[in-house]
Amino acid sequence: MGYEYVPEADIWLRLHIVPADWQEARLRCHLEGGVLASPSNSALTKAMIDMMSSKELIMKKIFTGIQAVVAKGHFMTIDGIPLSNLSLRWADNEPNNANNNEDCLTMNGESEVADANCADVCPFFCAKKSSKMTVNKCGTTDDEYHLEPRTGSCYKFHQLPRTWHQAAGACFSEGAHLAIINSPEESQVLKELFAKYPQNTLRVKYPHVAMIGFWDWNEHARNGEWLTIFGETLAAAGFSTWSANEPNNAFGIEFCGSIVRDGLLNDFECNTSAVFICERERAYK
């Protein structure tokens, strides 16, 4: 999963080289079951600097998990440690709160911090505590994945609603993918999984919808080119049975794939949050 163990800090650390804005960085770490990392002790700071150096990021800045959430200049880590408790050095001429819009903290390769615009994009680190790292039979440390003998895949039902693209990212960050139905039997498996979460237990606007891994690749042309996230047609993937009166492209904005309670396919709005199902094939890493 890209994490390296840092024994001196007893923590797992992952460097994300592809830059993201601060909110996105925080979300990405959260989806991985970690937090946006901060240089909160000298061992961790050293490990971060070493990893930046090995990836030739030493000249660049990374986002830390330190933000001024409540009031200007009152910086604290995501887990609530105030900046004043950390022994960090400001870079020259920092903090300057440029344009009165610098509420997120970056760190450079010399472990100097600066305030920066949260909408800038920077590489970042995610950190995970060392405890939850026992691998189960789904090949993951996440015990919400359960092996289904009928398909040989593991599935996780996400009750916390997300948009389709966020859901796809959440599955990928778990070493999985939004579920793809490869047989009528797998449709039945997902139907039974969905039934374990009855409508009245889900806090979501559309509790009859669970997003899965297909979408309209030609959404702007609106010609209904439904492919799996790996680019196969539904027929080639092994299942293409739509629910009654679907796809209906309701309101002209349904370009993402889901199932409904009968386990059959439905088109759904990409930008509306819904529950979703991730699939981990044991061969898939």
Helix (H, G, I), strand (E, B), or coil: what is residue 214? Answer: strand
DSSP conformational letter for 201: G
Tokens 């993918």 label which residue? 177
Comparison of 13 and 68: residue with beta carbon closer to Ca ion: 68
Q: How many residues bind Ca ion (CB under 5 A)?
A: 12
Angle between helices 22-31 and 164-173 (to 10 degrees): 60
Q: Hey, what are 96's tokens? A: 């300057």
In the complex, the smallest distance separating the C-beta of residue 13 from Ca ion, rounded to whole angstroms, is 25
Residue 233 in the binding site for Ca ion (CB under 5 A): no
DSSP conformational letter for 169: H
Comparison of 81 and 91: residue with beta carbon closer to Ca ion: 91
Helix (H, G, I), strand (E, B), or coil: what is residue 63? Answer: strand
Tokens 């979703």 label which residue? 276
Partners of residue 63 on adjacent β-strands? 106, 124
In the complex, the smallest distance separating the C-beta of residue 94 from Ca ion, rounded to whole angstroms, is 5
Comparison of 170 and 171: residue with beta carbon closer to Ca ion: 171
- In which element (H, E) is residue 43 found? helix 42-54
Comparison of 14 and 280: residue with beta carbon closer to Ca ion: 280
Comparison of 58 and 98: residue with beta carbon closer to Ca ion: 98
Contacting residues for 119 by C-beta, under 8 A, at least 6 apart: 21, 22
Contact with Ca ion (CB under 5 A): which of 62, 66, 107, 114?
114
Residue 96 in the binding site for Ca ion (CB under 5 A): yes
Residue 267 in the binding site for Ca ion (CB under 5 A): yes
Contact with Ca ion (CB under 5 A): which of 32, 115, 142, 216?
115
d(CA 57, CA 193): 44
Comparison of 114 and 259: residue with beta carbon closer to Ca ion: 114
Residue 216 in the binding site for Ca ion (CB under 5 A): no
Residue 248 in the binding site for Ca ion (CB under 5 A): yes
Contact with Ca ion (CB under 5 A): which of 14, 266, 275, 276?
266
Contacting residues for 52 by C-beta, under 8 A, at least 6 apart: 15, 58, 60, 62, 109, 123
In the complex, the smallest distance separating the C-beta of residue 54 from Ca ion, rounded to whole angstroms, is 26
Quick note: the x/- pattern for Ca ion over 167-196, rule CB under 5 A, is: -------------x-x--------------
Specify whether the CB–CB gap between 28 and 126 falls below 8 A: yes
Residue 32 in the binding site for Ca ion (CB under 5 A): no
Give the binding site for Ca ion (CB under 5 A): 94, 96, 102, 114-115, 180, 182, 246, 248, 254, 266-267
